[in-house]
Structure 1
Amino acid sequence: MRRWGRLWGPALAAVALLLLEPGRAADAAEPGVPVPPGELQDDTNRGAISAADRDLVVKVRLAGLWEIPAGEMAVEKSKNPRVREIGRDIADQHRRLDAFARDAAKKLKVKLPDKPNADQQGWLAEMREAPEGKEFDQIYVDRLRAAHGKIFPAIATVRTSTRNDVVRKLAQQANQFVMTHLTLLESSGLVDYKELPAAPDPSAASSPPAALNPVAQTRPDKPWVSLPVIIGALVVLVGFGVWMVRRDLRNRRPAYRSRRPYHYDR
């Protein structure tokens, strides 16, 4: 038992290193990317609504008013099967997103536009005037990719700050649609990433990075090792402990002595 007691320390230290070592077991297999469970969100119109909330509902509506006809033009004017498929998918998905926006506007009593704004009308005119084929394809992908890149952070800001559950749910739905459309447009192979606007410099007033934040280091949001790894380590320790105890008990058991007297040769 003393020997086993001396081994407890190193064994527990090994488990502690396993639990604290960043990424070893967690990186063994890449998990699937989760999809936000929308059924967990309410849209009963609870919570105050801000000007940014109303603006988001309007912007979602405006996006559908020009991206639906743009997608229809892609189906008609593109010679590229992939671009035609992208245009069809984005137009169909914006019809569904537009229904969500109109339903939210009805609950929130937000007045929605019935035609695209001046910039969007200009983009549609540019597409109508472009010749069929590669020139149209490039204009279509460039204009939609730029528009989605601008609205993406705006949706994220409202999603994380709104007090109203209707707006929160619409923002989450819109975020999923926009992410899908970004991916579809980029799958065309026509996006010139060098021409995309650069991200703004990080603000000096923002929170320090995780590596310099002691709270983030001592209380991480996610465990380094998954629950199955922890359970497996504990099972190994317990099994090792039982084996050591049984071995010590066998070593302490007195040797068997025969009751028959020994006979010595004389």
Structure 2
Amino acid sequence: MRLSWNVAGAFVVGGAVSLALVAFVYPGTLGAGAASTSHDTVIAQTQWGPLTESDRDFVVKVRAAGLWEYPVGQMGLQKGTSKAVVVASQHLVDGHSALDTTCRKIAPMLNITLPNVASPQQQGFVFTLTADNGEQFDTDFANILRMTHGSIFNTVAKIRSTTKNTLVRALADQANDTVLDHITVMEKTGLVDFEQTLAKQTAPPTLPASDVTPPPPAFGQPTVVLAPPPRATSTPVDIDAISTGGAAPGSVLPTG
């Protein structure tokens, strides 16, 4: 297994160096005016409850996650050499297409600008996996994705337990289920190096904002859509029902 950490804290995998792991980070300035000093600051009062900087950044983080994990899942369907990696890839495509649908639904309702491109750090992960082949792809795939999902898991829980916004809470419910599912399928590959993975996700190095920030979309650029697979099993949250009071937060669209 070619998996190591250099002295600067960069992630070294498959013989290539990508940016260090700080999953789904996005600045508080996107989609709003001046950044405040506290992510608990309410930036808007909406009919679904107050929206804080943390709430807004969480929606953007979920969107940014899909912008690199969805194509990596598609890559794994083609390059994975084990059944477990192929199954994990199917879960990535399926789960992030459903999360993306929810993000794209609630973002305009909450006046949140979504990126169309992942951050340079996240694009570095894609670059590493693009260069990999064979068993090295399987190993790097499982470890990179296990680390990124492990890093965001506590963030999802914090948003779910603190947000006062019904729409953000519903997205957090969906994200919690999806992230846990993706952690599980990565572990089932049998390729995860837990010692290094857990150490890195609990003490990630600090990166400059430019490395962990997905760029805002160009003015007038259509929103990128992460299309669900033909036999999707994950479903987006039924935001219409929640927003009109017809269903409890966390309800999902019927699969049939």
Q: TM-score, normalised by structure 1?
A: 0.57
Greater share of strand residues, 1 or 2? Answer: 2
* Equivalent position amino acid for 2:168 in 1: V
Match of 1:79 in 2: 81
Match status 1:162 vs 2:145: no
Match of 2:48 in 1: 46
Unaligned runs of 5+ in 1: 1-43, 202-266
Q: Tell me the distance in 2 between the aligned counterparts of 1:164 and 1:68.
A: 27
Within 5 Å, give how 1:114-263 maps onto structure 2: 114-130=116-132, 132-198=133-199
Q: Secondary structure at the match of 1:127?
A: helix
Output one character per residue of 1:102-130: Cα deviation in whole Å (capped at 9) or x when no partner: 11212111000001101110000001111
Asked if the contact 2:84/2:185 (under 8 Å) is kept, the reply is no
For residue 58 of structure 1, the aligned residue among 44, 57, 60 is 60
For residue 102 of structure 2, the aligned residue among 97, 100, 103 is 100
Q: Work out the number of aligned pairs and report it.
A: 157
Kindly name which structure, 1 or 2, has the bigger radius of gyration based on alpha carbons: 1
Asked if the contact 1:158/1:171 (under 8 Å) is kept, the reply is yes
Going from structure 1 to structure 2, the CA distance change for 1:45 and 1:154 (only over 3 Å counts) comes to farther
Match of 2:92 in 1: 90
Asked if the contact 1:45/1:107 (under 8 Å) is kept, the reply is no
Q: Secondary structure at the match of 1:48?
A: strand
Q: RMSD between aligned alpha carbons?
A: 1.7
Output one character per residue of 1:27-71: Cα deviation in whole Å (capped at 9) or x when no partner: xxxxxxxxxxxxxxxxx9421100000000000001110011001
Asked if the contact 1:45/1:166 (under 8 Å) is kept, the reply is no
Q: Percent identity?
A: 39
Q: Tell me the distance in 2 between the aligned counterparts of 1:181 and 1:45.
A: 33
Q: Secondary structure at the match of 2:130?
A: helix
Going from structure 1 to structure 2, the CA distance change for 1:136 and 1:162 (only over 3 Å counts) comes to same
Asked if the contact 1:159/1:172 (under 8 Å) is kept, the reply is yes
Asked if the contact 1:80/1:133 (under 8 Å) is kept, the reply is no
Going from structure 1 to structure 2, the CA distance change for 1:200 and 1:72 (only over 3 Å counts) comes to closer
Q: Secondary structure at the match of 2:51?
A: coil
Greater share of helix residues, 1 or 2? Answer: 1
What's the CA shift for 1:197? 3.0
* Equivalent position amino acid for 1:151 in 2: I
Unaligned runs of 5+ in 2: 1-45, 204-256
